Structure 1
Amino acid sequence: MTNITAFDTPILLITFNRLDTTKEVFYKIREQKPKKIYLASDAARSDKKGEDLKVSSVRKFLLDNIDWECDVKTLFQEKNLGCNHGPHSAISWFFEHEEKGIILEDDCLPSTSFFSFCDTLLEYYNDDLRIFTIGGFNFLENTNNSDNTYFFANFPVTWGWATWRNRWQKNINTIENFGDINQELELKNLVEDSIVSNFIINNAKSAYKDEVDAWDFLWIFNSYINNALSIVPNKNLIQNIGFGVDSTHTNGSHENKIFAYHELDKPISHPKSLISDRYYDNFIYKEVFNWKGLSEKLFDASHIFKVIKNRIISK
């Protein structure tokens, strides 16, 4: 008999070698009993002794614990793709089958409200191509002085998020034509000299050249060149539990880096206008990615020295 409480929106879970965090995220997914679940797992790195056993244990746990009626699809890699190509290939595979869906990595622990939040907004903004990302994470809770459930930002955060196939296809097109797009933007920036755009372009270029092992810099770039907006909940709906020695990018101390998640206590209230919150975007650029605005750079001795040095070398 079909379970009438089953969750309709497809969910992609991207995993690797961490069984402890995977269990926590999976148990939250299992509460929803999704009708469709996609399990993507990168392979162990050849130079990491014993990692193949960790990866196998994660895969076995997932398959052994799907105890509700659902359609299960798996993408278990045989060779390690890394944090750039691994998640990217998993998301592309997901959208080969689905028109929209929720994406969780093995260290992004969602609140129960996160699922209904994404489900509602995937439907609400289905035909509004200005929206690329429905995010569940908020670095700055309750700073947006509004009674609305969420606000808009230019910078997408993908610690628990949702999107649509047609937006992801734009990302594929962006990557395939990255060279030409980047050349146009660099010429444009010779005139504008935009600090933020240079920051986004340089990070995307590094990801495109595999100089940095991170998939989301190209998604950020894709949002930027399409003037897209990202949704940010006023209350944080995702807790990143990935800080630790086994993580690839968040292997520092847990201190001051754990953001609690919350549940929504009232029906979703939508903003009346689609305008990005510049304060939030600036906080992300400055505090999370450590870029400095022009006014700060004018009084930064190290930056002044760097500029003078570059100009001397270029002469």
Structure 2
Amino acid sequence: MLAPICLFTYNRLGETKQTVKALQNNFLAKESDLFIFSDGPKNEAASNKVNVVREYLKTIKGFKSITIFKSQTNKGLANSIISGVTQIIKQYGKVIVLEDDLITTPNFLDFMNHALEFYENDEKIKSISGYSTKILQKCRNIDIHFQRRAHSWGWASWKSRWDINVFRNKNLKLDNDKLREFRITCGDDIDNMLISSINGKIDSWYVWWVYDHFIKNKFTVYPIYSKIKNIGFSDESTHCQGISVFEIELDTFSKRNFNFTPLVQNPKLEKQFLNYYKMSYKLFYRLKLLNSLKGIKMVVKEIQFRIFKIK
């Protein structure tokens, strides 16, 4: 049985349409059950946009079945994902998760479903990612790589690996050595993200998902060629505002059979992957943008938002 798909939407009609259209073009779309979770508006001003998106959701076709859950209140992305994934994964035992700003390649569902089947009994694998940063050092005939850090842009997991209590551990006490190990293992930005979540400064389900991988020494399976492109870095984004420093190599081959292997760690690939999260890389990336007028505008816009909250 194919894994059900959870799609989480809010108020971005344009991005939602692009996300759904790409998903409809997947080879396995017509054989897949789609569950859409539409979050409620934060305020009166957001109501119209949310309603417009919901009117569009009612017109969607092209899947085995479509079920829409409309929240009367604004849960926020974190609570929407935690509750929605918990609901569906309990019923079906596995799930594929998308947000409303992710363009999938036609073979995305093939990759995710085949990986879920291949690694189902490998307890070292906690999740599957459809997204990947650009991998420069590729191994011949190998379609995947393994990382300790999970990703949230198009992912999948199983009921046996999903524990809702992971996201309720806000009283977690961490010593400096454990935080340092977390940072070294999962990226330069991740320890401060966890601290901010513990202190209530950010509302993130993702950092707790990453921490659960880390503390239990679990891995995520990534494709060598990304099956996802994020189009969500816009003014109306809830969590992806600013400049995306992630470079990807999108899958254009549309192959439907993949060469999966048992877990093998590759320190060189792990280092290359984590480089995208280094502050030095993020700074260098922005400095390179200053070589073009378009890049300068992007940097100025980001500064206006991050410092002055101007969209």
Shared fold, TM over 0.5: yes
What range describes the TM-score normalised by the shorter chain of this pair?
Answer: 0.7 to 0.9
Matched, 1:283 2:280: no
Corresponding residue SS for 1:112:
coil
Aligned length: 275
Q: Deviations along 1:35-93, whole A, 9 cap, x unmatched?
A: 421111111111x62x11111111221122235542x3332211112233222222222
1:27-176 equivalence runs, <5 A: 27-31=21-25, 32-46=29-43, 49=45, 51-66=46-61, 68-70=63-65, 72-169=66-163, 172-176=164-168
| Alignment partners' CA distance in 2, 1:265 and 1:108 | 17
Q: TM-score, normalised by structure 2?
A: 0.78
Q: Which consecutive unaligned segments of at least 5 residues does structure 1 have?
A: 1-6, 292-315
Root-mean-square deviation over aligned CA pairs: 2.9
Q: Which consecutive unaligned segments of at least 5 residues does structure 2 have?
A: 284-311
1:205-284 equivalence runs, <5 A: 205-252=195-242, 259=248, 261-264=250-253, 266=255, 267-276=257-266, 277-284=269-276
Alignment check: 8 A CA contact 2:133 2:247 kept: no
| Alignment partners' CA distance in 2, 1:199 and 1:241 | 22
| Alignment partners' CA distance in 1, 2:111 and 2:22 | 15
Alignment check: 8 A CA contact 2:34 2:63 kept: no
Shift of the 68–225 alpha-carbon distance from structure 1 to 2, 3 Å rule, reads closer
Q: TM-score, normalised by structure 1?
A: 0.77
Kindly provide the amino acid, as one letter, of the partner of residue 113 in structure 1.
Answer: N
Alignment check: 8 A CA contact 1:135 1:230 kept: yes
Shift of 1:96: 2.8
Shift of the 200–33 alpha-carbon distance from structure 1 to 2, 3 Å rule, reads same
Q: Deviations along 1:185-243, whole A, 9 cap, x unmatched?
A: 427539x7764369645422422443113321111111111111111111111010112
Kindly provide the amino acid, as one letter, of the partner of residue 278 in structure 2.
Answer: K
| Alignment partners' CA distance in 1, 2:81 and 2:140 | 34
Alignment check: 8 A CA contact 1:235 1:264 kept: no
The higher radius of gyration belongs to 1
Aligned to 2:304: none
Corresponding residue SS for 2:116:
helix
